[in-house]
Chain A
Amino acid sequence: MNDVARPGHPSHTVGPPLWLLAELTYRCPLQCPYCSNPLDFADQSDELTTEEWVSVLRQGRAMGAAQLGFSGGEPLVRQDLPELIAEARHLGYYSNLITSGIGLTEQKVRAFREAGLDHIQVSFQASDPELNNAVAGSRKAFDQKLAMARAVKDAGYPMVLNFVIHRHNIHQMTDIISLCERLEADYVELATCQYYGWAFRNREGLMPSAAQLEQAEREVNDYRGQLAQSGSAMKLIFVTPDYYEIRPKACMNGWGSMFLTVAPDGTALPCHSARLLPIEFPNTRQMALKSIWYESPGFNHYRGDSWMPEPCRSCDEKGKDFGGCRCQAYLLTGNADNADPVCDKSPHHDRILAARRAADHATAGLEDLTYRNTRNSRLFFRS
């Protein structure tokens, strides 16, 4: 059976975009060295207007999108956020605000709630102020995050705390979870870095060693046991780095299958990293969202499996993982068609093994990382 949707010939097998990620801006007060934004974000200051975002939200909802993420950059820097939240609620979205907490106030937390925001996810960089602030590149970040986490809880939102895990904070797993328990979190995402954007640039300085990872997994499992025993509803989600797997992740649950990202300038993407691929993606300013999703060459590029070279083409797991991540294939092999090198059937798997070996011997400190800021970003787009 050939279920490939060819450009210009939308296949009826393509489902609706159930998840819409609105990357409202690339502006951000923090400088996290694992940011997933493009390296040249500083060259892309163009942002959709309020009316243009409202139009994107309406079109997405009409197509069936139910989950909406407001992200960035730091979405709070958009002055029209309350208006967009209210529109999202009016349309029937479940809306999620993904924020660093910087720029948030108790008043805003309450006002967003009244406007209909469903959930605020506050991200932390570590369990203690020194490390947190060093990673974030901001001296006051940790105290502000703690205060805002409490405000979120007090306002009656479900509390989701997110920690990006890397070699410099992976030893804090027990402390991190314990902090979350004190803050009465409902969900804790312990997400090890995914190596795209700034994180790919800084991979050697961020990737944990196999021994570090093993220790962290033990600590998380022990804590899970304790939580289960005490009847706690706090849910721990530990996302381990795919660099330590031998089969790739089913990235985005398949290209253009349910996720739709709209970047600050209106560029529509199958995931927030896809901008780095040598593929032309449509813009919501020029094309209706429906045509973008079902008909554009960019979105149809990796649907189905007729694009797959070996070893994916003849692999009996291709319907399970879709050959893994196109961005990772591109970053590691120079050709986005290739099997994700995480797979040990990939002829490029040695690149993953080399990264693991490097992680065993890495000595770089936090000060050696390239921080995500406008100055560093300008260096990238000039070169």
Chain B
Amino acid sequence: MTRVPRLRPGFRFQWEPVQDSHVLLYPEGMVKLNTSASAILAEVDGHRPVADIIARLEQNFPDAGELTDDVCEFLRDAQQKHWIELQ
């Protein structure tokens, strides 16, 4: 919970109007992200620890309820895909 996720070097998260979605860009690759993945990655800035990210998301999406499990699962998955590093 105190660990700080950040995008790996060479990864960029950005909004693509034509695709009407956020994408993750990396060397010669692009992943179109769904709404929840986008909401989480938007909070990953290389400074905020996991606990803060969860708190902010729960504040921004009060109807979504407890988000700890979902966020941790996504971050684990993103780490396994080598999109992010946890420091």
Contact = CB atoms under 8 A, between A and B. Distances in A.
Interface string B16-30: 111100010111111
Nearest to B23: A66
Contact of B14 (A92, A96, A157): A92
Interface string B37-72: 000000000000000000000000000000000000
Nearest to B27: A119
Contact of B26 (A16, A18, A64, A158): A158
Contacts of B27: 96, 118-119, 121, 158, 160, 186-187
B76 interface: no
A118 B24 CA distance: 13
Contact of A16 (B8, B14, B18): B18
B57 to A, nearest CB: 26
Interface in A240-299: none
Interface string A32-75: 00000000000000000000000000000001101101000000
Q: Is the contact region of chain B dominated by helix, strand, or loop, or is it mixed?
A: loop
25 contacts: A16-B18, A18-B19, A18-B30, A64-B17, A64-B18, A64-B19, A66-B19, A66-B23, A66-B30, A67-B29, A94-B26, A96-B28, A118-B10, A119-B26, A119-B27, A121-B27, A121-B28, A157-B9, A157-B10, A158-B9, A186-B8, A186-B10, A186-B27, A233-B8, A235-B82
Interface of B: 8-12, 14, 16-19, 23, 25-30, 82
Q: Which 4 A-B pairs have the closest CB atoms?
A: A158-B10, A64-B18, A94-B25, A119-B27
